[in-house]
Structure 1
Amino acid sequence: MSTTPLLKLNNGVEMPALGLGVYQSTPEETVPAVETALRDGYRLIDTAAAYRNEKEVGEGIRRSGLDRGELFVTTKLWLSDYGYDSAQRAFDTSVANLGLDQLDLYLLHQPAALDTEEWVGAYKAAEKLLADGRVRAIGVSNHTPGQLRALLDRADVVPGVNQVELHPYFIQRELREAHDELGIITQSWSPIGGITRYWPHAPNGGRSALEEPAVTELAAKYGKTPAQVVLRWHIEHGVCAIPKSVRPHRIEENFDVFGFSLTPGEVATIDALDTGLRSGPDPETVRLDSFGRR
């Protein structure tokens, strides 16, 4: 069984470099997906209050029989619960759903630049949870460099992680450079580019990085699948990837990326697929009603 490399956050907490995401996994699919992933060697599971499957993630963890200390569990605070007091109540609900006493990582799911006080209040609540030992690390998701700096102007704790859209068509070079400057780990959602297929009106819609010659030729060279090559590309960049799947063979396949490596030139070849266009929501304009009911 492969062992996941660990990335050290800015407070010394270590996080696996590869995990299972459960966005769009139905409750019925989530329990067996989490069980399968943990059996196959995954130790990081990423969920969110907005995914409505925290209870099932918790059940999958319990069924795995693994010791809690072996796992790294992340969930996220949704926009509707921003604000200091609301965030603390929402955290209590999430850990109750998961059946855990402590989280490894708690993220603000979206920026809320149009409601600054509630956004900052939510992060202050996360800082308090960290100080009280109820979480081991805190961070954000979908924040731009400008939003990170605006938050840090009023925060005491630098986020350990920023989880963002990142794949070969949108490599987020500027953001990753800002993360390096600030001491923040980059974590990628939709790491193999699924967002280009399921998000309405995606600028890269209809395209798949898994069909690009830059990827397929490397897959043939190394005897790997295109998805494995793309996930290895994330690892080479020092980025944590959280691919989603509910299919047992895909979950196993996505984890089998530690027995080979890409050269700097090969990494650059995949980098060159960048279009500079995000396919998901624009963090600069996001607001609660952008997503419909959660």
Structure 2
Amino acid sequence: MAALKSWVGVVWLKGLQPRVSTFGWRLAWNCLPSDDLVRKWQVPLVSRCDLCRKEQESVHHLFLACEFSVKIWTELLMRFEVRWEGFPLMEELFSWWKRKARTILLQKAWLPLAILIPYQLWKERNKRRFENRAASHGSVIRQVLSSLAEFYMLIPIYVRSVSELTLSRSLHLKAQPYQQQRIIELSWASPVQEEVKLNIGGCSLGNPGRTGAGGVLRDHEGNPMRCFASYAGVGTNFYAEFEAFFVGIHHAMSLHVENL
């Protein structure tokens, strides 16, 4: 099996709109119809970057080297107190972006920007080329932050410090205070004489996503009679819980349990 690309966790990020993730996938595989790629298809073309109007257009120039793009990268990264140093390839940018997320403030706000910034740059390039409409770099930054706010509506971002609160304000995000987790103590009671108790659980990774179901059958003294766990396909948490229930009943029947 081929190893996963370093950009997978950045491109296919939960909360990103499908069209944005698809754009990121095309960008990572160098499949966008930029001038340099069109030329490789043996199409004669006079090329010029629509953002800076100084250099020929290529994926590297458009997203990583163009002075218009660099200005946007620099300004947005400054809000995270990170310096833009440039990258030779998009794949290296994605890899660095993912590693940086481990130590950055507001990780959930940082990760989607790796795709949202190129996405808005590509939209601005197309507007200039096909609609003859040009926006300032400040306008593009506002579009990036607006897209980030839409992402934030689906994936809440909680702040735990004054620094994170200040950063959320600079990104125009409404901060939500971090809710301290509570520890809830649970107890298990053994069944009465000659009865068997079935405890089950099921969950979905992603909801919907890959599901698992499991459980344990115990007698009145608490001794395990049978333990089980299995992959239940793709589904929701609701589906996984019911799958665990029916699998548990099947095991109880195979043990000839009469009082469950």
**Larger radius of gyration between Structure 1 and Structure 2:** 2
Q: Give the TM-score taking structure 1 as reference length.
A: 0.21
Q: Give the TM-score taking structure 2 as reference length.
A: 0.22
Q: Which of 1 and 2 has higher RCO (CA within 8 Å, sep 6+)?
A: 1
